[in-house]
Amino acid sequence: MKKNIIIANWKMSLTDLEAIELSKKLVKKLKKQNEVDVAICPSHTALDRVASEIKRSEIKLGAQNCFWEDTGSFTGAISPKVLNELNCSYVIIGHSERREHLNETDGMVNKKVKAALANNLIPIICVGETFSERQEGHKDFKIMEQVSKAIKDVELNNKEIIIAYEPVWVIGSGQAVEPVEAEHTMQVIRQVIIDNFSPEIFDTQVRLIYGGSIDKDNILEFVNQPSIEGALVGGASLDVDKFVPIIDAK
Ligand code: PEP
């Protein structure tokens, strides 16, 4: 039985000291619970110290990006092998902000997914349409294309992946999409996963989560949808009093 997962994406919003403080508060405030998995993704520079803060808690560590090679002449890149050494369990791949500002392509996303899995990291693969793609009626096609390119020739063996559906135009807007619409998109993603892997693999090794203006007031409407198994949370994960109620929502 897969558990729901709530993942905090702290982006570049905090200094390392602020990330450490927030981790301490989260460890204190988060009730012992094993119904939901929780992961936090601080900046790379804070990973080591945040790892020390959460090591006795149930909170898992994630990174916000990785490169597709383990070592080599790649100035400024972050090795997935090092993320594993730093006790990361997860890595966000292909976030729309990286696709937009750093020209990250579906091909790069695919290589990063393979590198993450090879280093025992669970990739959180972000997909989502822009507002104009939606207005032009291409939303489902865009999602199918991004997912199938991200998982092309991926050997899952017994490993897990997470697909985060994040409509680009609602990220940080304070206005999420309708939960039923997110559910429809999850069905589209599910079909791509089944076509590329199998229904069994979908049922046991793939989690589908939603991201985009999640808060304590709307989380339940999303996770109560049949196919939504958690959330990727940006803005509301930066304040312990906004993030903990999202995790505790019942
Ligand atoms: C995100 O950028 O991954 C995200 C979900 O942001 P927000 O919750 O702020 O919309």
Share of the chain above pLDDT 70, in %: 99
User: Are the CB atoms for 157 and 195 separated by under 8 Å?
Assistant: no
pLDDT of residue 33: 66
Measured by CA distance, the residue closest to atom 4 of ligand 1 is 234
Check 97, 129, 166, 183 and give the catalytic one: 166
- The closest-lying atom of ligand 1 relative to the alpha carbon of residue 9 is 3
- The closest-lying atom of ligand 1 relative to the alpha carbon of residue 96 is 2
Active site residue 166: yes
Per-residue pLDDT tens for 39-89? 999 999 999 999 999 999 999 999 999 999 999 999 999 999 999 999 999
pLDDT range class, residue 112, cuts 50, 70, 90: very high
Per-residue pLDDT tens for 133-163? 999 999 999 999 999 999 999 999 999 999 9
Report which DSSP code applies to 45.
G
Domain count for the chain: 1
Check 95, 104, 129, 229 and give the catalytic one: 95
Per-residue pLDDT tens for 39-51? 999 999 999 999 9
- The closest-lying atom of ligand 1 relative to the alpha carbon of residue 211 is 5
Residue 185 alpha carbon to ligand 1 centre in Å = 17
For ligand 1, mutation pick of 99, 233, 243 (most atoms within 8 Å of CB): 233
pLDDT of residue 2: 86
Residue 126 alpha carbon to ligand 1 centre in Å = 11
Residue 209 alpha carbon to ligand 1 centre in Å = 12
pLDDT of residue 31: 72
Per-residue pLDDT tens for 157-213? 999 999 999 999 999 999 999 999 999 999 999 999 999 999 999 999 999 999 999
Residue range(s) defining the domain that contains residue 211: 4-248
Residue 72 alpha carbon to ligand 1 centre in Å = 32
Average pLDDT (15-44) is 93
Q: Is the CB of 235 under 6 A from ligand 1?
A: yes
- The partner residues of 231 in beta bridges, in order of sequence, read 6, 210
d(CA 42, CA 185): 28
pLDDT of residue 250: 87
Can you give the CATH number for the domain in which 182 is found?
A: 3.20.20.70
Is residue 1 pLDDT above 80, yes or no?
Answer: no
Measured by CA distance, the residue closest to atom 7 of ligand 1 is 234
pTM above 0.85, yes or no: yes
Measured by CA distance, the residue closest to atom 1 of ligand 1 is 234
